[in-house]
Structure 1
Amino acid sequence: MIQKIFYGETNPLTEQAGEANTSLFKSIAPTRPRHIDVIIEIHLDHPLGREAAKLLVYNQVAALQGEDPEVRVSPADSSRHYVFATLTMDQLSLIVAQDLDPSTGARAIYKVWPDHNLEPFIDRSVRMIKADACYRTFDATGENILWAVIDSGIDGDHPHFARYGNLLRDPGTAETDGEAPLLRPRDFTGGKSESPLTDGYGHGTHVAGIIAGASPPAPAAKASTKGEAAQPLLPAFRIRQSRNELGQVRTEMTRLPKSIQGVAPQCQLLSLKVLDDKGAGKESSLLAALDYVARVNEHGDRMRIHGVNISLGYPFLSPEWYAAGHSPPCAAVNRLAAQGVIVVVAAGNDGSAVLQTEANKRRVGLSQSIADPGNAEDAITVGSTHPNEPLKYGVSYFSGKGPTADGRMKPDLLAPGERILSCASTAAVAKLAEDIDLEGQLDPKPGEAYYREQSGTSMAAPHVSGAIAAFLSVRGELIGQPRRIKELLMDGATDLKRAREFQGALQVGGAVHQQFLDAAWLADQLAAHRQ
């Protein structure tokens, strides 16, 4: 069947009054003829095949552009499963009405969804998940592992990514590699020019710095006039905000006393940009990015992108339209996992709300607050905990909480997500320079690296991405087995003794290090894997 989204009293699919379900669109289309963004899902069982069906729908939408300049349609190769368009409800109704082939009864359109707005889910945290111990003991650095960061872009000029050459850059060659698209950074925001290695919003750069990279080294020591070696200073600075004794928020900048690094410092990163410079994006951009990963990997036949980090999404608001875990992004995540890609997703930051009682207001935790695509069954969905003392402080108040609306336990894991220090993009530094507290202090110079603190499940998810990348760099036989990796993490990490729907199975702290150290476990897993 085709999902009913039509505005008005008559549903053109049934030609019966009163069957139009308009709840999703009343908030975005209160008057006609307002244009709305939609995702048109293609019918996989069309007699002419999926590609032909998609082209039929694409041509129908494109034909309307000559009559209405506000009609938009994404390039035909944006997705294999969907057509992304901007239409009025009348235009959409017309396309659906014309879709039926009277001779065969076949339809090219399967469902139509609203194109939801995406939102981002905004040092010692590395030590808390024991990544530094794995690095020192097993040289688990993430080398030869490629992780895609679906976010607001990554600042390609940040020195944090220079030491190990973490950022995959555009090779500037042909657009395809055999039958697969060329492996390169991509920008799905629909701007006039692609800029995946710029980050005007700053979110993606911060996320990427948690996964991989390292702050620039100190310059070589120089002898002082007394003949003693002068202590070199790191060309790296920390910018943080805190409240003083009067409750006022103050911003301060200090030089980093020692180097910091991502969880998997040598992991390669692929920027897939879906949020613009204001942090805004569309669900269709996320779907296009996920489809790109699938095509680059030739649907599991050629594993080049090993994992994906998604620190963004949108609340699960419409169970009358699709069951929890079955929205288009959730379906895309599950397809990608079935093809061997590990997909790590932030749980979202809607885990609490202010409740007005008769006497006062109070903040309470919210169950069923996991955001999409974190509701996907095969996603590794990550909530947030304290960076230093998770056993003491438990689950962050803002962290999305389960169960899912259909009763499954989520999140799967917790990781540090409060006041996490990571890279500040060039644009973020420029904005911070406007802070009156930093007046005259912040004067960025080439080669200097700036870091800032941010909180959210957006920061928790890349800790898990980095931990898995480090793990796979020394356990390559588990590449392409996302469900097995998920089981290992959930079976081996630390229980915080909180409610299961709050904390997930565990806090990721002990999992990675324990699995490396347990020789018996290692032998058993290798034997089981060979069977």
Structure 2
Amino acid sequence: MRKRWHVTATAIAVVIGLLAFPRGSGLAQLLGLPPIQIGRTVEIDPILQQVLHTAGPDEPVEAVLTFSRYPSTTVLSLVAATGVHVLRFRVLPMIGVRGTSAQILSLLALPGLTSIYFNSQLWYFLNESVPLIGADRVWTELGVTGRGVGIAVIDSGIDGTHPDLPFGQKVIQNVKVGPDLFGTGPIFVENLANTDTTSGHGTHVASTAAGTGAALAGKYRGVAIGANLVGLGAGETLFVLTALESFDWVLAQRGQYGIRVISNSWGTTGSFSPDDPINVASKTAHDAGLVVVFAAGNSGPGNNTLNPYCVASWVICVAAGLKDGKTLADFSSRGIPGDPVYRPTITAPGADVVAARATTGVVINTFFIIDAIDIGTDAVYYAAASGTSMATPHVSGTVALMLEANPALTPDQVKSLLQGSATPLPGYDVYQVGAGYLNSYQAVVDALL
């Protein structure tokens, strides 16, 4: 697992020396100078360290700067004075920048700066599963379908031309997040029927969360069949800045679309840091009353392999189980034995999950398995896929059911109820499976109490 530097911020003139020294040392100490205490440290992403060290003098580098509060006009003026291209957010306390290594390094002394990260690429972690968790009983016995609850799916996009995901009805907003965030075009293009034109991953995920099953008379319905979907589509390649813009859009528009849940079937590797910009974004969403769900990752069966974005106490981390309801999938990432933090929250169906196939006809990504089982002629509209990507929307859909049943629930209460209602998995430890296997029916019953 990679480590991160926490360095004492000092004069800009000596910042460039940082890149040549071992991790974990204060800059002033490394240079043999008396330490300059200004009451804060700046966390520097090790990937960015490497990029800045190897980039040519005129080679553009993209980075994310996170601040202790929303950057003031004074800070923004200081940034602009360096000549970097700037990407501003509406809600999140951060900015994106594109500039040379020297320009990026000159930003390390900005007041209020807490961390700086490279705009890294992120990875998507990709009929019987719905009855397995009792979601169908929630519809029929409790009359709860997720009605009125919006689920934001940050992913490759959603194919709103699929019969299970009709745009304007099931998918109430579908947004394409611009690939060139520093260009002259719009960052967001809204009201698109199909934003999943090159992947299919997001369509499969969205269908699992709330698809209608209409293509085959309800055979492959999602978990929260009455919930609304809002797509934030980045295409087949997702980067940190694209994900952050998606979070920012959701935070700004959550009231208009009734968004209560953010589903994230993607992530990275490495260690957890609360100052990572993705974790700052998820905490901001949590504090705004949104339930944030993340995939655990597909780097199992080894220990200490969790997606670092799912480790935070304020998110729900989903491991993948087989559809027998008893077995953890071999690929599902594990936490650390005995560690109170590095563990999944819960396990949900993540193997051979059948859900909508985008009109592209594919679901591409190396982080999950597509068409792992033969579903015959159903494959015209559906695909069977495995991965924690597939487990995550089962939980996101369940959360929508819980929030229709009891709209007053807070994100922390939702997480606690999910854990308390889970079915124990004998033979496994909490660092592997969390509280146990998802039980949607019991979770909604408990939410009603």
The interval holding the TM-score normalised by the smaller chain is: 0.7 to 0.9
Counterpart-to-counterpart distance in 2, 1:375 and 1:488: 18
Aligned residues: 405
User: In the alignment, what sits opposite 1:384?
Assistant: 320
User: In the alignment, what sits opposite 1:503?
Assistant: 433
TM-superposed deviation, 1:315: 0.8
Write out per-residue CA displacement over residues 289-347 of structure 1, whole angstroms, 9 at most, x where no aligned residue. Answer: 2222223347xxx9931111011111125xxxxx5454221222122112211111101
Q: Aligned to 1:335, which of 275, 279, 284? A: 284
Amino acid at match of 2:95: V
8 Å Cα contact 1:415/1:507 also seen in 2: yes
Q: Aligned to 1:285, which of 209, 234, 242? A: 242
Distance change >3 Å, CA 111–CA 215, structure 1 → 2: closer
User: In the alignment, what sits opposite 1:403?
Assistant: 336
User: In the alignment, what sits opposite 1:73?
Assistant: 86
Give matches, 1:9-88, under 5 Å: 9=20, 14=28, 17=31, 23-25=46-48, 28=51, 30-33=54-57, 34-44=59-69, 50-61=71-82, 63-64=83-84, 72-74=85-87, 76-77=88-89, 80-88=92-100
TM-superposed deviation, 1:462: 0.1
User: In the alignment, what sits opposite 1:203?
Assistant: 201
User: In the alignment, what sits opposite 1:310?
Assistant: 264
Amino acid at match of 1:390: G
8 Å Cα contact 1:141/1:267 also seen in 2: yes
Give matches, 1:106-255, under 5 Å: 107=111, 109-162=113-166, 165-169=169-173, 185-190=175-180, 192=185, 194=189, 197-199=194-196, 200-216=198-214, 236=215
Amino acid at match of 2:250: V
8 Å Cα contact 2:138/2:441 also seen in 1: yes
Q: What is the SS of the residue equivalent to 1:390?
A: coil
Amino acid at match of 1:470: L
Task: Please say if 1:490 is aligned against 2:409.
Answer: no
User: In the alignment, what sits opposite 1:428?
Assistant: 361
Q: Aligned to 2:351, which of 418, 427, 430? A: 418
Task: Please say if 1:464 is aligned against 2:424.
Answer: no
Distance change >3 Å, CA 415–CA 17, structure 1 → 2: same
Distance change >3 Å, CA 22–CA 347, structure 1 → 2: closer
Amino acid at match of 1:82: M
TM-superposed deviation, 1:401: 0.9
Counterpart-to-counterpart distance in 2, 1:517 and 1:154: 31
Counterpart-to-counterpart distance in 1, 2:238 and 2:400: 27
TM-superposed deviation, 1:79: 5.5
Q: What is the SS of the residue equivalent to 1:476?
A: coil
Counterpart-to-counterpart distance in 1, 2:238 and 2:122: 5
Distance change >3 Å, CA 282–CA 113, structure 1 → 2: same
Task: Please say if 1:263 is aligned against 2:220.
Answer: no
Q: What is the SS of the residue equivalent to 1:345?
A: strand
Task: Please say if 1:374 is aligned against 2:310.
Answer: yes
Amino acid at match of 1:500: V
Q: What is the SS of the residue equivalent to 2:207?
A: helix
8 Å Cα contact 1:6/1:22 also seen in 2: no
Task: Please say if 1:514 is aligned against 2:442.
Answer: yes
8 Å Cα contact 1:12/1:93 also seen in 2: no
Counterpart-to-counterpart distance in 2, 1:154 and 1:267: 15
TM-superposed deviation, 1:399: 0.7
User: In the alignment, what sits opposite 1:454?
Assistant: 385
Distance change >3 Å, CA 325–CA 9, structure 1 → 2: closer
Counterpart-to-counterpart distance in 2, 1:430 and 1:455: 11
TM-superposed deviation, 1:25: 4.1
Counterpart-to-counterpart distance in 2, 1:303 and 1:140: 19
TM-superposed deviation, 1:12: 12
8 Å Cα contact 1:214/1:259 also seen in 2: no
Uncovered stretches (5+) of structure 2, i.e. residues with no partner: 1-7, 34-42, 365-375
TM-superposed deviation, 1:500: 1.3
Counterpart-to-counterpart distance in 2, 1:57 and 1:79: 20
Stretch deviating more after TM superposition (330-339 or 371-380): 330-339
TM-score, length of structure 2 as denominator length: 0.79
8 Å Cα contact 1:118/1:313 also seen in 2: yes
8 Å Cα contact 1:148/1:309 also seen in 2: yes
Runs of 4+ in structure 1 off by over 6 angstroms are: 3-7, 10-13, 18-22
Amino acid at match of 2:341: R
Q: What is the SS of the residue equivalent to 1:83?
A: strand
8 Å Cα contact 2:89/2:248 also seen in 1: no
Q: What is the SS of the residue equivalent to 1:337?
A: helix
Counterpart-to-counterpart distance in 1, 2:232 and 2:338: 30
Task: Please say if 1:348 is aligned against 2:297.
Answer: yes
Amino acid at match of 1:265: I
8 Å Cα contact 1:215/1:261 also seen in 2: yes
8 Å Cα contact 1:142/1:469 also seen in 2: yes
Uncovered stretches (5+) of structure 1, i.e. residues with no partner: 65-71, 100-106, 170-183, 217-235, 237-255, 318-322, 352-364, 432-440, 526-531
